[in-house]
Amino acid sequence: AQSVTQLGSHVSVSEGALVLLRCNYSSSVPPYLFWYVQYPNQGLQLLLKYTSAATLVKGINGFEAEFKKSETSFHLTKPSAHMSDAAEYFCAVSEPGANSKLTFGKGITLSVRP
Where along the sequence are the contacts to other proteins (CB under 8 A)?
9, 32, 34, 36, 41-46, 49, 51, 90, 96-97, 99-107
In angstroms, what is the minimal distance from the CB of 14 to other proteins?
Answer: 25
Give the Cα separation of 36 and 6 in Å (integer).
Answer: 13
Give the Cα separation of 74 and 9 in Å (integer).
Answer: 17
CA geometry: angle 107, 108, 109, nearest 5 deg: 130
Are 76 and 23 in contact by the 8 Å Cβ rule? The answer is yes
Residue number with CB closer to other proteins (18 or 98): 98
Residue number with CB closer to other proteins (48 or 81): 48
Residue number with CB closer to other proteins (97 or 114): 97
